[in-house]
Amino acid sequence: MTQTPAPWGTQRMGPYATAATIPLPTPVIDPRTQIAVIVDEYGRTVELGNHGTSTSGLTPTTTTPGDGSGPGGATDADSTESYDQDQGSG
Quickly state the pLDDT bin for 74 (edges 50, 70, 90): low
Q: Is residue 77 part of a domain?
A: no
Query: To 5 degrees, how large is the angle CA 55–CA 61–CA 63?
Result: 170
When pLDDT is averaged across residues 10-31 and rounded to a whole number, the result is 86
Q: Is residue 86 part of a domain?
A: no
Long-range contacts of 65-69 (CB under 8 A, 24+ apart): none
Please give the torsion angle defined by the CA atoms of residues 41, 45, 47 and 53, in that order, rounded to the nearest 10 degrees: 120
Report the distance separating Cα 78 and Cα 55, nearest Å.
20
Structural domain of residue 34, as residue ranges? Answer: 22-46
- How many structural domains comprise the chain? 1
Stated pTM of the model: 0.34
Q: Is residue 32 part of a domain?
A: yes
Q: Is residue 10 part of a domain?
A: no
- Whether residue 83 is predicted with pLDDT greater than 80 in this model: the reply is no
Q: Is residue 60 part of a domain?
A: no
Q: Is residue 15 part of a domain?
A: no
